[in-house]
Structure 1
Amino acid sequence: MREAELDHAFAEGLERSPHLRTWLLAGGRFARYARTARLMQAEQAAARKAAHWWKHWWCTMPDGTQGETDIFAVFEDPSAGRFAIHVENKPPHGVLGYAQAAAYRRRAAFKANDPRWLDYRDFETVLLAPAAFLEAHGECLRQFDRGIAYEEVAEFVPLFARGAAAGSS
């Protein structure tokens, strides 16, 4: 199972499934907006020329380092304004170093309050991986706001059941 396939399936699920969107938001720091926030995929698609609204949101940090977010989703709530979810997806045999994990929050903070990234005001960082990966990479996981296991996502996006099973073979 390729990481890109899982990225695409998750983003497509966000776009098409109100249940997945509500579940994703309800489990994190934006829980109170889970039923009222709107995914801004059309605005993300219009903001730049790219094949997918959620993919390849690169930035160059003030120190010159560059990085991207695997899945970048901006939401807008009538009372809260805009907020973003930055998802790092790691398949079963993926590699995640401490520096990469720590950079996620820095990039999310750097992109906040900037029209190039839809001027979101707040954010959450998420590590998406099989449960065994999350367990084995606790120090890296702590650099994110939370971890979400493939096994949980599989309830909404069946492809993630295959992604999780690939790690147990």
Structure 2
Amino acid sequence: MTEKELDRVLERGFKELPGFCDWFLSRTRFSDRGGRCVFSRSDHPWGRFPVEFTDPETGRNEEVLREGETDVLVVFEASDGMIFALHIENKLADGKFTAFQPELYAARAKHWLHDVKYGRYQDFQTVLVSPSTFRKKNVRESGKFDCFVSHEDIAKFLPEFGSE
């Protein structure tokens, strides 16, 4: 399956399998909140957002506008009414990160806070979803995401993730 096909399978899992939602959330810092999926997109929502970088020549912080996508955006409502999101990057075993891709996930997620277009979430985490082999080959960049969930573990709920 392609990455985009797996993105749609993952979104379907969040919408249709409450047990999968609970299990996936248990891998995040939202594990004690519970929650039900109230909004999701696996059509690679794209946006422009500001990012602060340190200029290597001057050492000064500069803000630039960047554009980018989130593979799967899932928004949950906790039992106490709090709305939170997972910004999920899905990689195949032979995938590669683009320049600054992990860092841009957090910047984009922060910029989309409270935006109706993206589910009005109040808090978020960035999640890397990939085969364990991808993570091992890309340890440094993979570690820039807030958490990791392997394709192998997801395959226990969504068998398509085991077909790679």
Q: Could you state the TM-score of these two structures normalised by the residue count of structure 2?
A: 0.86
The aligned residue for residue 20 of structure 2 is 20
Moved more, 58-67 or 2-11: 58-67
1:98 is displaced (CA, Å) by 5.1
Answer yes or no: is the 8 Å Cα contact 2:83–2:120 preserved in 1.
yes
Give the match for residue 40 of structure 1.
38
1:144 equivalenced with 2:132 (yes/no)? no
- Equivalence for 1:57: 45
Higher-strand-fraction structure: 2
Q: Give the number of the structure whose alpha-carbon radius of gyration is greater.
A: 2
RMSD: 1.4
Which shows bigger deviation, 110-119 or 22-31?
110-119
Partner-residue secondary structure (3-state), 1:106: helix
SS in 2 for 1:133: helix
Match of 1:87 in 2: 88
Distance in 1 between the 2:140 and 2:109 partners? 19
Conserved in 2, the CA contact under 8 Å of 1:11 and 1:71?
A: yes
1:136 shift after superposition = 1.3
Aligned amino acid, residue 5 of structure 2: E
Aligned residues: 151
Gap runs ≥5 in structure 2: 51-63
More helix by share: 1
Secondary structure of the residue that 1:72 maps to in structure 2? strand
- 1:120 corresponds to which residue? 121
> Percent identity, aligned pairs only?
32
For residues 3-18 of structure 1, what are the structure 2 equivalents within 5 Å?
Answer: 3-18=3-18
Q: Which digits, 9 at most, give the CA deviation of each residue in 1:60-110, with x for residues without a partner?
A: 013321111000000011315100000000011111145111111111111
